Amino acid sequence: MNKVFDKFKPAFEAIAANKYVSAVRDGFIACMPIIIFSSIFMMIAYVPNAWGFYWPENVTNTLLVAYNYSMGLLALFVAGTTAKNLTDSKNLDLPKTNQINPVAVIIAAEISFIILSIVPLKTGVDLTYLGTQGLICAYIVGLIVPNIYYVCIKNNITVKLPPQVPGNIAQAFKDLIPLGVSITVFWAFGFLFKAATGTVLPRWIINVLSPVFQASDTYVGLCIIAGAMAFFWFCGVQGPSIVSPAVTPIMIANTAANLVQYQAGAHVSHVFAQNAMDYVMNFGGTGSTFIIAYVLVIAAKSAQLKAVGKAAIVPASFSVNEPVLFGLPIIMNPIFFVPFLITPMVNISLFKFFVTTLGMNGMMYYLPWTVPAPIGIIAATGFAPLSFVFVAAILVLDVLIFLPFFHQYDKQLVEEERVKAQELAANGGVALAGNSEVPAANINVEAPTMTEATESTTDDKQVSTAQGEEYFKNNEVDVLVLCAGGGTSGILANALNKLSKERGLKLSATARAYGQDMDLIQNMDMVILAPQMESMKGNLQKITDKYEVKLVTTTGRQYIELTNNGDMALDFVESNL
C-alpha cells in the first residue's frame, strides 16, 4: 500500500504547493480574524434565544452592525488578501530592485472587485455580493490582478520619472499604469458581462454553481469531501490544504444562509457549513481522531502506545492531532487506513441524518477550529438539544470503528516489546544497536518513542548542550515555527520560549499557520517547517533564500519529540543554525 501511496504523493504535493491554490488558501486564512470577530457579535445577539431570552430589537440591530460591516464585506477583504499573497509569490521571480508593490495590488484588486460586484439601486447600492456570496468572484479577481501587475513590472511598462524624484512619488507613478490597466480591464469586462447576461458576475457564478452547492450537501458529496481530506493526509500531504480552497466558498455561503434561516425562525438546513468540516468531518483533527488519545491512555497495553496517548491527549482535545498522526503513527500505516478514511464519512453522514431527518439545526456560527469538537458542535448549532445526543453518538461510533484496528496494532507492539525485553535479558542487560553496545540502563523499554531520542549520557552531548546554551546567552536568535494550523508549531515555540526564559537565553520563538504573517520571515534567523507542510518546502525555500534565513525541515516523529522536550528542541535549533 505504501508503495502505491508514494507514487501519488508527488502529484498531491504539487497541487498543495501550487502558487494559485496557496494564494486562495492563504488569502482566506488572513481573513479568519474577521470571521471569528463577527461571529462573537452574532452569538451574543442570538445564542440567548436558545434559552428563551430575546434582546430588544434596537439592541440586536446595534450588535449586527459589527457583523454586517465585517463579515458582510468578507469577499472584498479576501480579494485584497488573495492578491497580496499571490503578489508575494510573483515577487520571488522578480529582481529585488524591481518588485511589485503589494499595497498597490491590494487597492487595485479591491476596486476591481467592487466594480464587478456592486448592484446599483434607485436610492443607493446593494452590497450583498461584497460578502460571503462574492467569495468565488473575489478569488478570481485576486488571482488576475497580480498577473497584470507582474506583466507590467517585469516588462517595465510603467511611468518613469527622473532619478531626482523622491522614491515615494516615483513609486506612485510606477504603479499608475498597472493600476489603471487592472481597473479598466475589470470595468470593461463588468460592463460587457452585465449587458450580455443581465446580472453581475458574482450572482451569475452563484447561479451557475448552485448544483455544486446542492451536491455538497448530499450524503455522497459530504463523504467525498471528508474522505478526500483523510486520504490525502494518509498519503502524507496535509489534506485540508488541498480540499479547503475548493470548498471554502461553499461552506461560508452555507453558514451565512443558515444564519438567515435561523433569524427567520426557519429550520437551519444546510449541513456543509464552515464548522461542520472543523468539528464533524475533522472531529478532533483530520480523520476524526478525537477519541484515539483517550483510547490509548485507557486501553493500550503497549508501553509505546500509552506514552503516545499521554503526550497527545491534551493537544488532541483541542483538535491538534499531529502527535497522534506521527506518534502512533497513522500516516502511511496500513493498519489504520480503513478507520482513518471511513470515520469522517460516518460522522458527517450521521450529522446530515440529524439535520435533515431529525430536524436538528445545522451550524450557523463560526468558532475557532481549536475549540474542543464536542463543545464546538453544540455551540455552533446554537445549543440545539439534539446536538448533545449527536455528540454522544459519534463518540461511541468512533470508538467502535477504531477499536478493532487499535487492538490489532496494540497486540503487534506488545509482542515487539516482549521480544525486545527478551533480547535485553539474553544479552546480559546490553542492547545491540548496529555495531555499538548500549547499556540497558539507558534504554526505557516502557516508552521508547518519547524518550529514546531525548536521553543522552555521553560527555560529548553534555559539552554540546553547554556550548549551545552559551551561544544563545551571547547571541539573539529568532525562530519561526510553521505548521498547518498553528497548533503544534505553537507547542514547539512555547517549549523553546519557556526554556529560554528559565535559563536566561536570548532565544525567542513564535509560531504561525503556514500562510499567516509570512512577512515575519524576513526578521527571523531560522524557520522550522513542520512535517505536515512538507509539500510547501519548495515555495518556502524561495522566501527564506530571499531573506537569507535558515530553513529547517523535520520528520514526523522527530517533530513531535521536539514539541515534548525543550532541551531537545534547543539542541535542534543550535545544531542547525
* Residue 149 · residue 108 · CB < 8 Å: yes
CA atoms within 13 A on the CB side of 63: 16
Instruction: Tell which residue, 207, 116, 238, 183, has the closest CA to residue 486.
Output: 238
Q: Catalytic annotation on 223?
A: no
Cell 531520542, residue? 453
Distance CA 214, CA 150 (A): 37
Residue 283: all three cell numbers together? 472531529
Q: Which of 137, 152, 223, 483 is catalytic?
A: 483
Distance CA 238, CA 248 (A): 16
Distance CA 101, CA 91 (A): 9
Q: 413-421, long-range: CB within 8 Å, 24+ apart, which pairs? A: 413/302, 413/304, 413/305, 414/301, 414/302, 417/302, 417/303, 417/304, 417/445, 420/445, 421/445
* Residue 320 · residue 278 · CB < 8 Å: no
* Residue 397 · residue 383 · CB < 8 Å: no
Residues composing the chain: 577
Distance CA 279, CA 370 (A): 9
Q: What is the rounded radius of gyration, in angstroms, for the C-alpha atoms of the chain?
A: 26
Cβ-Cβ contacts under 8 Å for 163 (sequence gap 6 or more): none
Instruction: Tell which residue, 304, 396, 394, has the closest CA to residue 347.
Output: 394
Longest CA pairwise span in the chain (Å): 92
Residue 109: all three cell numbers together? 484588486
Strands 430-433 and 436-439: antiparallel
CB atoms closer than 10 angstroms to residue 474: 9
Residue 469: all three cell numbers together? 546554551
Residue 261: all three cell numbers together? 434561516
CB atoms closer than 10 angstroms to residue 132: 25
* Catalytic residue positions, numbered: 483
